[in-house]
Structures are given as C-alpha cells and as structure tokens.
Amino acid sequence: MIIDKLYDAAHKKSPVCVGLDPQYSYLPQYLKDKDWSVGEKIFEYNKKIVDASIEDAGCYKLQIACYEALGLEGLECFAKSLKYIREKGAIAISDIKRGDISSTAKQYAIGHFTGDFETDFITVNAYMGEDAVSPYYEFLEKDKGMFILIKTSNPSSGEIQDLKLGESTVYQEMGKLVSSWGEAFVGNCGFSSIGAVVGLTYPKEFEVVKQIMPKTFFLIPGYGAQGGTGKDIAEIFKDDICGVVNSSRGIITAHKNKTEGEDFDVCVNQAVKDMKEDILSWL
C-alpha cells in the first residue's frame, strides 16, 4: 500500500514534504531570462528543486492552483512535474482538495490516479460526505492514497470546522468519519491510505484529532511561513513519525536575496536540510 511507502520515506529520508507551489516571481533571474515559455521555465525550476531535495525530502506536494493559474501551459507543467518526481522514485501528493458527488468524484479519480496527471496521493474535501470519497476506494487498492481535510491551518478554519455539536465539533465529527472510512485501508505500517490534513497552527485541536484518529497518517501544513515550528511537530509525533510536514515558500524561495543564478539549488538544498534538522532534533 502506498501509505507504507510514504511511512518508509518519512522515516528513512525525513517527514519533510516539499511544497512545489511555484509562482513566476519566485524564479531566479537566470530562469526568467531564458527564451522559454513560462511553463517551461517553471518546470525547470521544479526539476532543480526536486534534484536538490530528493535525498532529504520524504515527499512532494504540488498545489494545483498555482498551475491552474497559468492555464493550459501551467497544467502541462503540472503533468510533467508529477512525472518527473515519480520517475525519480519519489512520492507525489497532488493538493487538489476536490470534493463532489460520486459520479463526479469518479471522474476526478480517473483524472488524478491515471493518465496525464497521475499522482500517488490526492487531497479531498468531504463536506459532501462519503459519496465524495468512496469512488476513490478502488484506487486505494491499486497503490493510491488520499488525505481528507479535517482541521485546516488557515485563520478562518474555525468558522465551520469549530462549530460545537454538544461535546464535539464539526472537525471532530469529520475526523471520526474519516477514521472509520480508513479502517479498510490500513497498511503494514499501521496507518491507513486514507490520511488527514490537520494544520500545525492548531496544536490543541491536533491533540484531540490524534486521539480520535489513531491509525491516521497526517499531511501537516502550517510550518514556517504560517508559524509552526519543529518543536510543535515533535509534540505531535511523540512516539512515532505519524505524518509529513509541508513547507513551500520556506524551501522554494530560499534563494531570495542570496542568488539569482543557477546555483539557487544550493539554497534549496540547505533549506530542506535545515528543516529536517529542525524537526529531527526534537524527536
């Protein structure tokens, strides 16, 4: 199961998930100066980031919005970047946060687990209930996985997710549902191929979620630019590395104000090593 591969990578390499969320302004000047399309420049940027981080990073997460923003050539770059990562033997997470009725979810499954945009994991929004999730089950048996939104890292996440239902909350109920759906897909590592997205920015809520979802592996946004630290991560991991921690700007713009040249990947490499050290030093 794909979750066993991710669990291994998180332990053997690190729980660092490199967020490939490129924007044109992030590119070093030497790439901007190339006589290429924007899509080609960003693909080259992504490739160099992958090469500079693959020894230390457990996985890569691609925020599809950054590619959709560039239209068709952006999505071509998205497809090529996924292919590059997976051909290198690394694990790709497509951060697409799709969620729709079952016939539509089936189309998304085809779109992101096969063909041009084939990936290893997708992120899913289950506001519509299990119909938005069950069409992916058949793919979980074919070495695919997903992370479902529980308690997100952003400031307004509480508006819906923290609403109180007696002793519980909406995000806790979402956690219970996702945990039950995941039971059928638990791998050898003890975690399910149905994981959960929980932000590092809400440590108290994370503690509650962990108790509700003991077999769930986490995709954790909120490190670095959003305020989360290595110590926060250690408090979540405690006995075992039970998730991967995403950082995007902290890694892919590490060269800013340092170099605009081809050697920008040295800064990227250092940023990944620093993040890995920041996390592992507390464990």
Q: Contact between 149 and its own copies (CB under 8 A)?
A: yes
Who's near 179: CB < 8 A, 6+ residues apart?
A: 212, 213, 214, 215, 216
Q: Is 29 in the site for its own copies (CB under 8 A)?
A: no
Q: b/e per residue, 61-87, with b = 16+ CB within 10 A?
A: bbbbebbeebeeebbbbbbbbbebbee
CA-nearest of 192, 179, 186, 123 to 153 is 123
**Least distance to its own copies from the beta carbon of 178, Å?**
11
**What count of Cα atoms within 13 Å lies in the side-chain half-sphere of residue 236?**
34
Residue 223 phi, psi dihedral angles, 5° rounding: -80, 145
Q: Smallest distance, Å, CB 60 to its own copies?
A: 16
Residues with catalytic function? 97
Q: How far apart are CA 195 and CA 206, in angstroms?
A: 14
Phi then psi for 5, rounded to 5 degrees? Answer: -65, -40
Q: Which of 4, 47, 51, 154 binds its own copies (CB under 8 A)?
A: 154
Among 36, 101, 142, 227, binds its own copies (CB under 8 A): 101
65 binds its own copies (CB under 8 A): yes
What the block records as the tokens of 226 is: 């959003």
The interface with its own copies within residues 170-229 (CB under 8 A) comprises 170, 173-174, 177
- How far apart are alpha carbons 95 and 246 in whole angstroms? 11
Our finding on whether 74 is near its own copies (CB under 8 A) is yes
66 versus 279: smaller Cβ distance to its own copies? 66
| Tokens 């999505």, residue located | 75
CB of 93 to its own copies, least distance (A): 14
Q: Is 40 in the site for its own copies (CB under 8 A)?
A: no
> Shortest gap between Cβ of 189 and its own copies (angstroms)?
28
Segment interacting with its own copies (CB under 8 A) among 6-14, 51-59, 130-138, 254-262: 130-138
Chain residues that interact with its own copies, rule: CB under 8 A? 21, 23, 63, 65-66, 68-72, 74-76, 79, 97-102, 104-105, 107-108, 110-112, 115-117, 125-132, 149, 152-161, 163-165, 170, 173-174, 177
